[in-house]
Amino acid sequence: MKTTRRTFIKQMGYVSIGFSLLGPVCLGKEGTYPNANIMEPEDPDHINAWLRVLEDGRVLILTGKMELGQGIRIAVAQVAAEELNTRLDLVDVNLAETGVTANEGYTAGSRSIESSAMSIRHAAAAAREKILKMASQKWDRPSSELILEDGMISGGDQKMSLYELLEGKQIEEDIGEPAEIFGKTKRKIVGQPVPRKDIPAMVRGELEYVQDLKFPDMVHARIIRPKSYTSKLGSLEESGLQDFPGFLKLVRLGSFVGVIAEEEYQAIKLSWEVQDRATWEAGEELPADVPLKDYLRTLPEETETEEDKGDWKNAFEKAPVKHSAAYYKPYLMHAANGPSCAVAYYNDDKLQVWTHSQGVYPLRETLANLLEIPEDAIHVKGVPGSGCYGHNGADDVAAEAALLAVEFPGRHVRLQWMRDEEHLWEPYGTAMVMELQAGLSKEGKIVGWKYDFWSDGHSSRPNGEPRTFLPARFLDRGHGVPGPGFKGGAVRNSMPYYTIDNLQTTSHIFRGPLRRSALRALGAFANVFAIESFMDELADKAGKDPVDFRIEHLDDERAITCLRKIKRNTTEVNLGEREGIGYAFARYKNSASYFAVAAHVYVNDEEIVRVKKMWGVIDSGETINPDGLKNQTEGGMIQAASWALREEVQFDKDHVTSRDWHLYPIFRFQEIPEVDVEVIDRVEEDPLGAGEAAQGPSAAAVVNAVFSATGKRVRDLPVNPVEKYLR
């Protein structure tokens, strides 16, 4: 197959979006390239794994990452255009797609710029060097006399397109180490706030989301949900269903029940009908009558010392001032604006899936195991959906659509979750409990630090194991429920970034009652919220300014610069009655972006905390697109403030009860603070992941501001629980 494909590309000289082996091809609005049968991606060490020269003069960039609203398409287009010295409109981007783009795992952990964009930068720089060398040999001119610009190469009176120069072939050579990176030396496009190309399409309603895909023969499906995570289907009277308008098929696989109809609203109505007819056996009860915070501490746990430096206990005992505090963060929801959606098509033993998953290859592998279909018979194409902020229902709905498509071959099956399915069945960000103790010296320095945190695992992404999919547990095939998940997510940012000689951090990992997976920043949200709240409490005990106190415990100049700037940006703020300002800082993962933040809050007459304004300073090393970085950071600040002030997943003994936007309220427009973000661009540094940097610090800054406004310390989130609004 490999040889055929290579020959094919050599002959045709372009790559396609389509996958015509598998029947009808989705060309959609973005799929305007000619078809070719690409079954596996090129070797990622080769230039053509990342970049293809098209006949019409454009360059197609292949990224293994997904557009999640973070603007990865414009960022990778910028780095490529810079290296190829070309106009941006000549650069197109193909998002993650099995068999086409490199396998870059998941689009997660704020790593798309660090990994994918840098691979593309190197591939494009290497391509430029190869192209110049080829032209130099062809025309027998030194490459210093040649110019590569906008897809044309010229020298003296000679000029030709890249496509002509390559004679329709692609550049298969190794990327190696390019001699010059224009992104560092010239920087004409990189570092500029280049507008995104997808926004004009969005405002016209022309951007195609996975939810908008349409195929001529497409049918619609809905799932009938059980009462709880563990309840089983009792009875289901099927007779007469076939008389309902549009009915095509009822799919029953154990306790997994879905219905397929010609039209979408018919499928919805049928799902209501089937739900009315179904009886469900009660499953295990959820611990609804104990406060969750207390309940979590009663669970069996795996305890591990994560860091142990000096003798914290001794230092703490001797300290003249001692302080301790406990914090709590509830389950939080990704709560995507658009419910999860996928289209699946099964025919001739082959499966095609269109998905907004963050990882097309891991999804493919896990689908293969779930459905017992060989991986090379599955094609998974990433199509942007609603922003996800981590691992939400995207993979689950893809698995469900695939299960249904296999039962109903020959037509495209579209499945979109309803709002209550998204709210009630997605894997949440886990609840956590955090306890801190520290001693202060006479001079107000931290002398002993002890941090204990209780958390579930943080990620149950598809990893080849079918049980990571929501439907697997209802199939009655013995797949079981997901394993302990990614513990590293819980530990993230549990080590303070401050210089403390004697410290110990200990993780306590439990299996909590609700389904959970990776939510933006993972454990770093709760860890930073706790640590930065506690730093504020310690500063108060030490009688110091909270920003100065932090700076006194830092030896990283970049961190200190962020804090100095945030202080300076907020010196003019006038605080009114019942208003306060709070600060926080963290370096995401202790190795990615630096972020300092301030929040200005007030407490209204109903004792409800509102945020007036937030300021952020972010240092992500080399900035590819400063406006994109700002946008991500502003969004992170607003989202984290919403998490901290308003959000909490609630449940009764059967299941989660936060089923819609009334029962799981998030910030609406009147609650939105003004936001102001300053970007520190460090050209000489490597770019650092940024998309999750704002989460933890923003929550802490809000809570610290509440203290500054009222003298009261909020240690349990959310600050304004739903009940407050009902009083």
Residues that bind another protein (CB under 8 A): 68-71, 195-196, 198-200, 202-209, 211-212, 214, 245, 263-266, 335-339, 384-387, 389, 416, 418-419, 627, 631-632, 634-639, 642, 660-662, 666-670, 672-675
Q: 378 CB contacts (<8 Å, ≥6 apart)? A: 98, 350, 351, 352, 353, 364, 367, 368
Q: Where are the alpha helices (DSSP H) in 237-348?
A: 264-277, 292-298, 312-318
Q: Shortest approach of another protein to residue 613 CB, angstroms?
A: 10
| Cβ pair 553, 498 in contact under 8 A | yes
Q: Shortest approach of ligand FES to residue 69 CB, angstroms?
A: 5
CA–CA separation, 342 and 394 (whole Å): 8
Q: Which does 173 bind (CB under 5 to 8 A by kind): ligand FES, another protein, none?
A: none
Q: Shortest approach of ligand FES to residue 486 CB, angstroms?
A: 25
Q: Which does 45 bind (CB under 5 to 8 A by kind): another protein, ligand FES, none?
A: none
CA distances from residue 11 to 4, 36, 306, 634 in whole angstroms, order as listed: 10, 11, 55, 47
DSSP 3-state assignment of 314?
helix
Choice between 68 and 500, CB closer to another protein: 68
Choice between 387 and 616, CB closer to ligand FES: 387
Q: Which helix (H) or strand (E) holds 79?
A: helix 72-84
Choice between 386 and 455, CB closer to another protein: 386
CA–CA separation, 573 and 567 (whole Å): 10
Cα–Cα–Cα angle for 620, 621, 625, nearest 5°? 70
Q: Which does 211 bind (CB under 5 to 8 A by kind): ligand FES, another protein, none?
A: another protein
Q: Where are the alpha helices (DSSP H) in 441-518?
A: 488-491
Q: Shortest approach of ligand FES to residue 202 CB, angstroms?
A: 9
Buried b (16+ CB within 10 A) or exposed e, 383-402: bbbbbbbbbbbbbbbbbbbb
Choice between 69 and 621, CB closer to ligand FES: 69
Q: Which does 156 bind (CB under 5 to 8 A by kind): another protein, ligand FES, none?
A: none
Choice between 66 and 162, CB closer to another protein: 66
Q: Shortest approach of ligand FES to residue 639 CB, angstroms?
A: 10
Q: Shortest approach of ligand FES to residue 632 CB, angstroms?
A: 11
Choice between 26 and 165, CB closer to another protein: 26
Q: What DSSP string runs through 345-407?
A: EEETTEEEEEE--S-HHHHHHHHHHHHT--GGGEEEEE---S--SBS-SHHHHHHHHHHHHHH
CA–CA separation, 183 and 197 (whole Å): 20
Residue written as token pair 């998309």: 691
Residue written as token pair 């998905």: 355
Q: Which does 159 bind (CB under 5 to 8 A by kind): ligand FES, another protein, none?
A: none
Choice between 7 and 337, CB closer to ligand FES: 337
Residue 4 touching ligand FES (CB under 6 A): no
Beta bridge partners of 219: 413
Q: Which does 407 bind (CB under 5 to 8 A by kind): ligand FES, another protein, none?
A: none
Q: Which does 674 bind (CB under 5 to 8 A by kind): another protein, ligand FES, none?
A: another protein
Q: Which does 149 bind (CB under 5 to 8 A by kind): another protein, ligand FES, none?
A: none
Residue 155 touching ligand FES (CB under 6 A): no
The amino acid that residue 650 corresponds to is: Q
Residue 387 touching ligand FES (CB under 6 A): yes
Q: Which does 109 bind (CB under 5 to 8 A by kind): ligand FES, another protein, none?
A: none
Choice between 377 and 663, CB closer to another protein: 663
Choice between 339 and 466, CB closer to ligand FES: 339
Beta bridge partners of 154: 147, 159
Q: Shortest approach of ligand FES to residue 396 CB, angstroms?
A: 20
Q: Which does 502 bind (CB under 5 to 8 A by kind): ligand FES, another protein, none?
A: none
* Axis-axis angle for helices 72-84, 118-139 (nearest 10): 30
Q: Shortest approach of ligand FES to residue 266 CB, angstroms?
A: 18
Q: Shortest approach of another protein to residue 610 CB, angstroms?
A: 12
Q: How many residues bind ligand FES (CB under 6 A)?
A: 3
Q: What DSSP string runs through 19-42?
A: -GGGSS---TTT--SPP----SPP
Q: Which does 205 bind (CB under 5 to 8 A by kind): another protein, ligand FES, none?
A: another protein
Q: Which of residues 55-94 bind ligand FES (CB under 6 A)?
A: 69
Q: Which does 691 bind (CB under 5 to 8 A by kind): another protein, ligand FES, none?
A: none
The amino acid that residue 563 corresponds to is: L
- Strand 503-509: give its sheet, edge to edge: 302-309, 503-509, 446-455, 432-440, 321-329
Neighbours of 273 (CB within 10 A): 16
Q: Which of 298, 314, 337, 499 binds ligand FES (CB under 6 A)?
A: 337
Q: Shortest approach of ligand FES to residue 613 CB, angstroms?
A: 21
Choice between 303 and 337, CB closer to ligand FES: 337
Choice between 226 and 628, CB closer to ligand FES: 628
Which is it for strands 350-355 and 378-382: parallel, antiparallel or unpaired? parallel
Q: Which does 41 bind (CB under 5 to 8 A by kind): ligand FES, another protein, none?
A: none
Choice between 255 and 517, CB closer to another protein: 517
Choice between 8 and 667, CB closer to another protein: 667
Q: Shortest approach of another protein to residue 564 CB, angstroms?
A: 24
Choice between 534 and 643, CB closer to another protein: 643
What φ, ψ does residue 45 adopt, rounded to 5°?
-80, -10
Neighbours of 276 (CB within 10 A): 9
10 Å CB burial of residue 464 (0-12, 13-18, 19+) is middle
Q: Shortest approach of another protein to residue 624 CB, angstroms?
A: 15
DSSP 3-state assignment of 589?
helix
Q: Which does 70 bind (CB under 5 to 8 A by kind): ligand FES, another protein, none?
A: another protein
Q: 156 CB contacts (<8 Å, ≥6 apart)? A: 139, 141, 145
Residue ranges in contact with ligand FES by CB under 6 A: 69, 337, 387
